[in-house]
Amino acid sequence: MLHLVYNIVGVLVVILMIPVFCIRGVREKGFVERIKQQLGFLPKHALDKVARKNCIWVHAASVGEIVAASPLIKEFHKEFPQSPILVSVFTNSGYEMANRIIKDADSIIHFPFDLPWLSANLLYRVRPRVFMPVETELWPNFLRACKKLDIPVLMVNGRISDKSTKRYRYMMGLWDEILSSIKVFAMQSNVDAENILKLGADPDLVTVTGNTKFDQTYTDVSPEEKHNLLLELGLKDNQGVFLAGSTHKGEEEHVLKAFNEIRRIYPKAKLVIAPRSILRTNAILELCDEYCFKAVTRTQLQENFTTDHDVVILNTIGELGKMYSVGDVIFVGGTLIPHGGHNILEPAAHGKAIIVGENMQNFKDTHVLFKNRNAVITVKSGEDLAVEALHLFRDDEERHRMEAETLAICKENKGAAHRTAVILNDLLTKVEMNKVKATDKLENFQTYFM
């Protein structure tokens, strides 16, 4: 019954969104192609290398999941060279990011809307060797179709927050079917494993592999690249860079107030703001003006370079991971508001001193890991952010200690991608053995009646 309601709502939502699709199709480059693919109209060349060729299918919703998937895909390409790799994404930003950082995929497509006939049709055309949703990309109709077509499903880098666990409990009828279609749950942490168990997953199928974002290398920046980034952003000859990544509405004010305190002591310090949504760029420019800071965007600097600015707003997609390298003190957004936070592993990979707010529910395990090692500072308010940011600018010794600790944590926790590849190999071996047994039984049955 709940599945029927889900399908009816899904169809209605798609119908009601048609006017929005039309408007975005006119305004946004590439949106029409995205919708065509999500409705099942994929160009032939998109599936040529993967359809019915025993491919490995990895699905990642957007930018964050693509970052998590990139080391997995590199590992799968190395361990399973005979299997082509198909990557699917749900958002335009995810599609751009996938094409930018994933070099080992044989095809990258837009994931279909989760309507029964679309899921089944695409799966029938592709017939993958295995389907692997990244983090929480669990779509009921798609997983139901996988089960009907005997396509094994391996949940990779699985993540279920406490908030999601409470919300999903109201959909237990739907979740029972979702969970029954998954062969193995490879979760990021013990917290995520506990949460998937609370939802009803079979304990024998749940394992903890660690977070694959510790293995990502796409953000690696050489000294020369960092030097070039500083030049491109007009950040050379400064007294330090304060970088605020993945900020949300209501957080930039706190960041600007903190920067104002920093500038009282370090007048040549610079600020970089990378909003979670680049659609908010104009609003942030206006806010900077209110605080009497001269702000420019990344794209403006690319068109007309200048060093005459106080603030740079990163209004491009997919650059934040590398951009963290230019910051001396990092604030990760979504944490001073009740959002649940964003991942701190990207700045940590560069060995940065990191500040977050208390709202880190979505990354609780990672936050606890860094907090227990004094590798992250957690603040309760915007006022605390200003105090701690200025403290890190002033105290070189403490900042360098935090930088060394974040690098040490990242180094110690690598290996999740390899562990996942081992699990995948075991799963595929079992699947192949079961197929052989089924074939033998059928042959024996036929022989008996001959």
Full residue range of the structural domain in which residue 314 is found: 223-394
Give me the pLDDT at residue 220, please: 86
How many CA atoms are closer than 13 Å to the CA of 115, on its beta-carbon side?
15
List % helix, strand, coil for the chain (3-state, nearest 5).
55, 15, 30
Is residue 330 within a helix (H) or strand (E), and if so which, with residue range? strand 329-332
In a domain, 179, yes or no: yes
**Do 199 and 287 reside in the same domain of the chain?**
no
400: in domain = no
On whether both 11 and 148 belong to a single domain, the answer is yes
CB contact burial 233-244 (16+ within 10 A = b; e otherwise): bbbeebebbbbb
Number of structural domains the chain divides into: 2
Q: Is 317 part of a structural domain of the chain?
A: yes
| Buried/exposed 432-450: b ≥16 CB within 10 Å, e otherwise | eeeeeeeeeeeeeeeeeee
CA dihedral 79, 82, 84, 85 (to 10 degrees): -10
Q: How far apart are the C-alpha atoms of 323 and 313, rounded to whole Å? A: 11
Q: Show pLDDT as tens, one digit a residue, over the chain (450 residues).
A: 788 888 898 899 999 999 999 999 888 888 899 999 999 999 889 999 999 999 999 999 988 899 999 999 999 999 999 999 999 999 988 999 999 899 999 999 999 999 989 999 999 999 999 999 999 899 999 999 999 999 999 999 999 988 888 888 777 778 889 999 999 999 999 989 999 999 999 999 999 999 999 998 878 899 999 999 999 999 987 899 999 999 999 999 999 999 999 999 999 999 999 999 999 999 999 999 999 999 999 999 999 999 999 999 999 988 999 999 999 999 999 999 999 999 899 999 999 999 999 999 988 889 999 999 999 999 999 999 999 999 999 999 999 999 999 999 999 999 999 999 999 999 999 998 887 766 655 555 455 445
Domain assignment present for residue 449? The answer is no
Whether 240 and 293 share a structural domain: yes
Task: Confirm whether 120 is domain-assigned.
Answer: yes
Same domain, residue pair 115 and 34: yes
If asked whether residues 250 and 329 sit together in one domain, one would say: yes
Are residue 11 and residue 116 in the same domain, yes or no? Answer: yes
- Are residues 189 and 240 located together in one domain of the fold? no
Q: Classify residue 407: in a domain, yes or no.
A: no
SS (H, E, C) 210-232: CCHHHHCCCCCCCHHHHHHHHHH
Residue 325 lies in a domain: yes
Would you say 324 and 243 are in contact if contact means Cβ atoms under 8 Å apart? yes
Residue 93: beta bridge partners? Answer: none
Q: Are residues 185 and 272 in the same domain?
A: no
Which uninterrupted H or E stretch holds 378? strand 376-379
Verify that 213 and 320 share a domain, yes or no: no
17 and 148 in a common domain: yes
Report the distance separating Cα 300 and Cα 272, nearest Å.
14
Q: How many CA atoms lie within 13 A of 391 on its CB side?
A: 13
CATH number at residue 344: 3.40.50.2000
22 and 132 share one domain: yes
What is the predicted pLDDT for the residue at 442? 52
Residues 143 and 237 in one domain: no
CB count, 10 Å around CB of 72? 29
Give the DSSP letter string of 140-168: HHHHHHHHHTT--BEEEEE---HHHHHHH
Q: CATH code at 122?
A: 3.40.50.11720
Within 13 Å of residue 99, how many CA atoms lie on the same side as its CB? 9
User: Is residue 67 situated within a structural domain?
Assistant: yes
